[in-house]
Amino acid sequence: MFKQLQVEHSLFHIDQDHIDLFKTLAAKWQTVFPDVYAKCLNTLDSWASVLNSWVFFKSQHTDELILNPSKAIYYSINTFLIDELKKIQIIRKIRECDNDDLQYFVAFQLGNAIDLWIYNTVEKSAESDLLELPEEKPYFLAYLEDDFQTDNASFHRDQTRAIKVLVQAIRTQNCFRIAVNNAVNRAIDMYEYHVIK
């Protein structure tokens, strides 16, 4: 499924070389990470989430990889979570290292962990109906739709409803930080087992 990823799936300014490198890593480690565990998003969008996590790590080492401002405005959940990730010490350490394989391992585990955390957080809230939205609608390509930029587009309403739940959870609990730390530690353990052994 990762082979279907395109430049358009990224929230960052990337080019085809970045997509190709990501696909090379995904193919290289496919026996370790055969597929994503999509809960909130469809499978391709869950792979796009892993891609965006990986580009987020890579962005520490180049000024070229910046968040696309036009997408950042509309993908408020992702922008908010990226800002929250930057505050977590273990994430800062992973961003500082320049190791494609390790960053892929962490991006994969992080993408899955954040998806599961969002699902569990929203499921327990008054906004749980958001999880019943049709899965076939592409999340990371929604900005390409004609009605995407209208103020009353359902995409924006749903983003606003979901982000309120997530902000409240992060501000009042430690569950996001725990999920992130667990994902990174799991990824490091897997990397040490499969790469360093």
pTM metric for this prediction: 0.94
Q: Is 69 exposed, middle or buried (0-12, 13-18, 19+ CB in 10 A)?
A: exposed
Residue 60 or 134, more confident: 60
Per-residue pLDDT tens for 6-56?
999 999 999 999 999 999 999 999 999 999 988 988 999 999 999 999 999
Per-residue pLDDT tens for 171-196?
999 999 999 999 999 999 999 999 98
Closest of 51, 57, 46, 144 to residue 94, by C-alpha: 57
